[in-house]
């Protein structure tokens, strides 16, 4: 963690909170982390044995600047906390783990963003970076959208302003006390004027106000994605050697599994993945929750028995259990309701509230 913190300080400013400590909470903790000053709360789901979830710790560290020093004024500009933090997180992953991991990190985030927009519906106000919450509980609109859509907007700005100058602007932003979206825009326009930076198209309406995802979103080198699409095709056809798959970083495995969904996955496919690659025995919830979702969608027995109930009883992090319950509510509602009734007393109330609504539709 010392290396992570030093790298963040180099990009931003010296750490101001004196010490940095983390505590791993019980499994019921519904988030990956929570950035309380001086004492970050972390989910036990991050401890998977290969340090592949280290980016969550980096994310919470960055909140010491964007979130705890500069804080969004209200939940309708929550992207200022999370989008800025995710943008810097992605940069730090590149500096610490290399450019390939940075690209993968962005791709996985984009996949999560697409799923969240699909879950709400592309025209829903909760897919905007300025959601109209009105009198609703802000927890109801919680998703990766302010994180990943906010991050992509900042990457769009950086691509026009330049990396060096944009770093100066980010340092300016995190030095503020509190901000809303309009104040962010005012600071940005003033920064561009004072630095004689011209020709920047803010695209404010498309990115900050409108719901859904603008067409000019994340662009990735096609050669990079083609490599992983080929791996996913080989995995689908049972041509990928076990040792080659095992040699992949956990983030690579997750991205390959996401691309696998472009194929028509059936029970025979999953039988091969279970017997040849032992994917239903993974101790990494990032991998296992993907496999369970594929299995529930096509009624694969291993995804509907003990492995499913054990996974949902041993995890309370909403990133993992909510998507599984969502597909259960659509494909196996009786089974999902039965498992939820057994597990709900061990979940956080926020998770319980969100899952209950899935079975009420």
Q: Which residues are annotated as a binding site for Zn(2+)?
A: 59, 63, 82
Tell me the two tokens of residue 306: 């003990």
- Tell me the C-alpha distance between 316 and 313, whole Å: 8
- Tell me the C-alpha distance between 282 and 10, whole Å: 36
For 62, half-sphere exposure in the C-beta direction (CA atoms, 13 angstrom radius) is: 27
Within 8 A by CB and 6+ apart from 137, the residues are 353
Nearest to 145 by CA among 75, 224, 69: 75
DSSP code of residue 205? I
- Tell me the C-alpha distance between 40 and 98, whole Å: 25
Q: Beta strands of the chain (E only): which ranges? A: 21-24, 33-34, 39-42, 71-72, 178-179
Identify whether the C-beta of residue 356 lies closer than 8 Å to the C-beta of residue 321. Answer: no
Q: What's the start-to-end Cα distance of the chain, in Å? A: 43
Identify whether the C-beta of residue 88 lies closer than 8 Å to the C-beta of residue 170. Answer: yes
H/E element holding 296?
helix 285-298
Tell me the two tokens of residue 87: 């943008």
Identify whether the C-beta of residue 149 lies closer than 8 Å to the C-beta of residue 112. Answer: no
- Annotated catalytic residues are 60, 147
Grouping H, G, I as helix, E, B as strand and the rest as coil, residue 21 is strand
Grouping H, G, I as helix, E, B as strand and the rest as coil, residue 41 is strand
């Amino acid at each position: 963690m010392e290396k992570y913190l030093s790298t963040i300080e180099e990009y931003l400013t010296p750490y101001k909170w004196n010490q940095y400590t983390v505590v791993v909470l019980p499994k019921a903790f519904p988030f990956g982390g929570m950035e309380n000053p001086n004492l970050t709360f972390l989910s036990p789901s991050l401890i998977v044995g290969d340090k592949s979830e280290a980016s969550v710790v980096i994310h919470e560290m960055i909140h010491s600047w964007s979130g705890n020093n500069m804080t969004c004024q209200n939940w309708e500009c929550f992207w200022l906390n999370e989008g800025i933090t995710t943008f810097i997180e992605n940069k730090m992953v590149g500096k610490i783990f290399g450019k390939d991991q940075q690209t993968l990190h962005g791709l996985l985030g984009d996949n999560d963003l697409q799923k969240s927009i699909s879950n709400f519906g592309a025209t829903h106000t909760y897919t905007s970076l300025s959601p109209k919450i009105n009198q609703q509980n802000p927890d109801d609109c919680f998703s990766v959208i302010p994180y990943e859509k906010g991050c992509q907007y900042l990457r769009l700005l950086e691509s026009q302003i330049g990396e060096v100058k944009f770093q100066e602007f980010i340092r300016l932003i995190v030095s503020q006390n509190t901000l809303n979206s309009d104040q962010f825009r005012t600071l940005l326009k003033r920064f561009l004027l004072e630095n004689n930076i011209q020709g920047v198209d803010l695209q404010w309406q498309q990115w900050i106000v409108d719901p859904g995802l603008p067409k000019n979103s994340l662009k990735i080198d096609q050669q990079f994605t083609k490599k992983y699409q080929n791996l996913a095709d080989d995995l689908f056809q049972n041509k990928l050697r076990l040792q080659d798959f095992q040699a992949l970083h956990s983030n690579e495995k997750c991205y390959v599994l996401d691309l696998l969904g472009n194929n028509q996955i059936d029970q025979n496919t999953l039988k091969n993945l279970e017997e040849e690659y032992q994917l239903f025995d993974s101790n990494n919830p990032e991998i296992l929750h993907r496999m369970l979702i594929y299995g529930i969608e096509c009624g694969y027995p291993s995804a509907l028995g003990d492995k499913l109930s054990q996974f949902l009883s041993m995890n309370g992090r909403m990133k993992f259990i909510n998507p599984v319950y969502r597909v259960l509510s659509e494909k196996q509602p009786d089974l999902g309701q039965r498992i939820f009734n057994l597990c709900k007393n061990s979940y956080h109330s926020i998770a319980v509230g969100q899952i209950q609504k899935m079975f009420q539709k």
